[in-house]
Amino acid sequence: MRFSLCFLALMAIGSASAERLTLDRIHGDPALAGPGMRKMKVSPDGARVTFLRGRTDDQFQLDLWEFNLKDKSSRLLVDSRVLVPQENLSDAEKARRERERTASLKGIISYSWSPDGKQLLVPIAGNLYLVELAKPDSARLVATGAVLDPQISPKGRYVSFVRDQNLFVLDLSTGKERQLTSDGAAAIHNGEAEFVAQEEMHQVSGYYWAPDDSAIAFKRYDESKVPVARRFEIYADRTDVIEQRYPAAGDPNVAVQLFIVSPASGERREVDLGSEKDIYLVRADWSANSKALLFQRQTRDQKKLELVSVDAATLGQRVLITETSKTWVNVLEEPRFLAKRNAFLWVSERDGRRHLYLHDLDGKLLHPVSKGDWGIDGLLAVDEKAGRVYVSSNKDAVIDKQVYALNLDGSNADKPKRVTQADGWHDVSFSRNGEVFVDTFSDPATPPNVSIRRPDGSMVGWLERNELNESHPYFKYKSDHLPTEYGTLKAKDGQTLHYSLLKPYKFDAAKRYPVYLSTYGGPGAQHVARKWGNNFDQYMAQQGFVVFRLDNRGSSRRERVFTDAIYRNLGKVEVEDQLTGVEWLSKQSFVDAKRIGVFGWSYGGFMTLRLLSQASDKIAMGVSVAPVTDWQLYDTHYTERFMDRPQDNAEGYKQSTVFAHADGLKSNLLLIHGMADDNVLFTNTTKMIDALVNRKVQFELMTYPGAKHGISSRAGQLHVYSYIDAYFKKNLKPETN
């Protein structure tokens, strides 16, 4: 469960000056963060940067732009409304966007460069266009029919895509389309990633091109043994009965196969995935010379992951690396093969922290590239000529994200050189050769600005300066923007917990204020970060609340001893740590301990219910949105990673439910859920309703017709946050300023 980007419209905002910040303005146009950019990519020749940008009249309608590095000019390349005036998305595309947390977006959601840098592949509304950089106004329609996951082959000869659960290629030299599979239908899917792979393993594709265009490795899966979850999707004007193949914890998963197919001839061969069939095929990749296909195979219990090399000619195979854990092995990154050396880079948590290692092609460890009492987020780029690699990490501050340079020979493995200098949050995208990178930077007082820089951190130029001047959408709220304070507390086992705090508008140290505690609490997410803040937090502080966040044990970007504390009993240590934060708040002279409320969405919704169930004497009220209430109702890969299967941990599953603790729920509760949620199924909330009714607990309920997990429509987002705002004010009664 990655936190659904239900805050999509809320990210990157601020405060108030001549005007006060309002919920209507937060969800209005233009975006308060300024002209935001997505999917920044440096062209293959390094001459330009392309990006997606929302329109001034609709921040969620994305167009394709370019920035020319030579003359420092920007121009609109593709107007999405000209290309497709009215979008009609297939159900498969809607589901895919829900998995990718882009359900609220329209227009151009993704694009890719041709390897020669002369063309761009642009999918929109199920159609596929090729755009010549020299003539962007004459986009060429090359495929139709609800195409999914389009790609340009590495050498640029083909375009590939999935249509109707089958894999296709289009030869760009002849214009001929070839169907590479034909059995895709009903429960059979070719070239696609299954539900849990998309949702939990970060798989955005189910097929992988060889670097020389000679072959494609693709996943074929059969979901016929996955139980059917019959659920109602209730809309304003109709009710659809959906039969969704949903593998809940302990249930059968899809049966998966791996094939290699020739795009030229259509000949395909099956790769042996081993004698054990109940596995996860995490992903597949190719060696730099296209002679070896490498796939990652994870056991069902997720305690072992193997990197297997397959000879593309003979299909002979060998295991190169085996990762094991007493708790679980995280799915990390693909191997990164070096072009000038018979070796590859591999990310591992084998020593308790995430580090980078160099292995030879036989899998033998050559040396660590990074090491020490810190960990990397991931590998960003490799510059073999300079003998350097670039990684992102929070080495210098847990709440920050920075870029660091490491020597490929391991000589500075424990002393990386910091490239980005400003304290705060840097999201970075490198060019293929590592010679430049695009840096999106923000901190709590600085909305995201985008610069282009060299590997030493020096400036090439601004892509988007985004200064908070009089022309900025947020300027009129700037003078009332409230600063974010950061600090640490100690968990019961002595580990460090990071928190953030906003004090109310016109703060008076002699007064006592109510608390808006925002929680997520689940693995794979960091809720406390030094970056441009969430506008709803800023709004609530301006409404008279102390706004508090805390990252409990289990949260991401930390060492394994911190994350593994949740193993086999979800909710136990997370609740302990959040209550450590509540106890600290209660001791502050400016906090009214009788007016503390909690809000959470998804895993945060689960945490809200658990906190109210176990600490109604300390927390006066809560708002729980789209909560998991019983982990046997959630999917296999996520749940079993932390809990094992229900049949192997019956007591852990029992104690991890909300229901095992619900007798203690006495505080005021608002329960919210989308009525078409296919991630955290609505059944979680109906079971909670039944439990509360049987316990004679009064509560409020809000359901949203047709809404998925993120309740992502603009009207839905405005309504849900207006409801949360009103519920907090009604129950905790902050002073108005």
Task: Name the burial class of residue 66, with classes exposed (0-12), middle (13-18) and buried (19+) by CB atoms within 10 angstroms of its CB.
Answer: buried
Out of 63, 439, 677, 678, which one is annotated catalytic?
677
Contact predicate 89/126, CB 8 Å: yes
Is 709 labeled as catalytic in the residue annotation?
yes
Residue for token pair 């108030």: 16
Rounded to an integer, what distance in angstroms lies between the CA atom of residue 436 and that of residue 434? 6
Out of 104, 602, 613, 667, which one is annotated catalytic?
602
* Residue 73 CB partners (closer than 8 Å, separation 6+): 67
Residue for token pair 């003539």: 135
Residue 317 DSSP class? E
Query: DSSP string spanning 712-725?
Result: -SHHHHHHHHHHHH
Rounded to an integer, what distance in angstroms lies between the CA atom of residue 246 and that of residue 48? 43
> Residue 703 CB: number of other CB atoms within 10 A?
16
Angle at 111 between CA 110 and CA 114, to 5 degrees: 160
Contact predicate 607/654, CB 8 Å: no
> Residue 445 CB: number of other CB atoms within 10 A?
14
Name residue 192's amino acid: E
Query: DSSP string spanning 35-64?
Result: S-EEEEEE-TTSSEEEEEEEETTEEEEEEE
* Residue 355 CB partners (closer than 8 Å, separation 6+): 347, 348, 349, 368, 369, 370, 371, 375, 376
Out of 630, 709, 712, 713, which one is annotated catalytic?
709
DSSP H or E run through 463 = strand 459-464
Cα 270–chain centre separation? 32
Rounded to an integer, what distance in angstroms lies between the CA atom of residue 340 and that of residue 385? 9
Beta strands in 272-303 (DSSP E): 279-286, 292-299
Sign of CA dihedral 30, 36, 39, 42: positive
Cis amide linkage into residue 734, ω under 30° from 0? no
Contact predicate 633/684, CB 8 Å: yes
Rg (CA), the chain: 25
Task: Name the burial class of residue 645, with classes exposed (0-12), middle (13-18) and buried (19+) by CB atoms within 10 angstroms of its CB.
Answer: middle
594: left (phi over 0), alpha (psi -120 to 50) or beta: alpha
Is 677 labeled as catalytic in the residue annotation?
yes
Query: Helix (H, G, I), strand (E, B), or coil: what is residue 662?
Result: helix
User: For residue 91, which of 244, 193, 209 has the smallest C-alpha distance?
Assistant: 244
- Enzyme catalytic residues: 602, 677, 709
